[in-house]
Chain A
Amino acid sequence: MAALINVPSKARRGDIIEIRTLTSHIMETGFRHTADGKLVPRDIITSFICRYNGAEIFRADLFPAIAANPYLSFFTVAKESGKFEFEWIGDNGYSSTASASITVG
């Protein structure tokens, strides 16, 4: 699935940088009914992990109260050049990944 990642491409060592992620997902709550009264089964992303050169720097547990197309923004200290890896895991075996690189001078 499509994901939008916003990470600065360059940073100075020690800078605090913001990472913003947006992924497309319906985040069906499991509390809604169709017009004929059937419950729509839950289908959400349950967890999100961000790794910086392999080390986990941020993790989130998501619940049905997170809006569709989950948006997350958080911070990290730019310590070395390398790669950010993002992973979304959800119901019905859902899994999606994305990555972004950064040059730290």
Chain B
Amino acid sequence: MPTTRRQFLNLAGGMTVAGTVPIVTLRPLQATPAMLNAAIRNVVGEAQLRSGRIRLDIPPLVENGNTVPMTVSVASPMTADDHVKSIHVFNEKNPQPNIGNFYLGPSAGRAQVSTRIRLADTQKVVAIARLSDDTFWQVAADVVVTLAACTEEMN
């Protein structure tokens, strides 16, 4: 079938629109996995990171990265001899890798902290607990973010 004028114009028009689409927004400010590791080492030092005991509750898919609920809990009896000293939360791709440090003690009764965080991109969130015997326990969770936070333009 020969191409009609109408079909040709539709095709050409479509290509013009497609050609103007790729406007790339540059986000130079972004933490990298290397920065994440550096931030973690800053807290942990050379100690070994073990997995288990700590739990990170965060939605796997969030529509709005501006406020993401998050709960970290650690299985610990919270006694004077065996308790959680601190909980540290990090991210992979926000402009800077720290989210929060939380210091608690045996008087907490339960090692659990909740807050709301910002996520600039789909990324990994890492939580680390420091116990009273100075062992470190970590957990990571992947979060898909559809609307980014932190670096958007102000209106």
Contacts and interface: CB of A to CB of B under 8 A. Distances in A.
Nearest to A77: B109
Contacts of B124: none
Contacts, number: 113
A66 B104 CA distance: 19
Identify whether the interface residues of B are mostly helix, strand, loop, or mixed: loop
Given A72-B113, A77-B108, A65 B101 contact: no
A64 interface: yes
Contacts of A99: none
Nearest to A60: B102
Contacts of A55: 107
A64 B150 CA distance: 8
15 contacts: A31-B29, A34-B153, A52-B107, A55-B107, A57-B104, A57-B107, A58-B102, A63-B98, A64-B118, A66-B99, A67-B116, A68-B67, A70-B115, A70-B116, A74-B113
Interface of A: 16-17, 29, 31-35, 40, 52, 55, 57-68, 70-77, 79
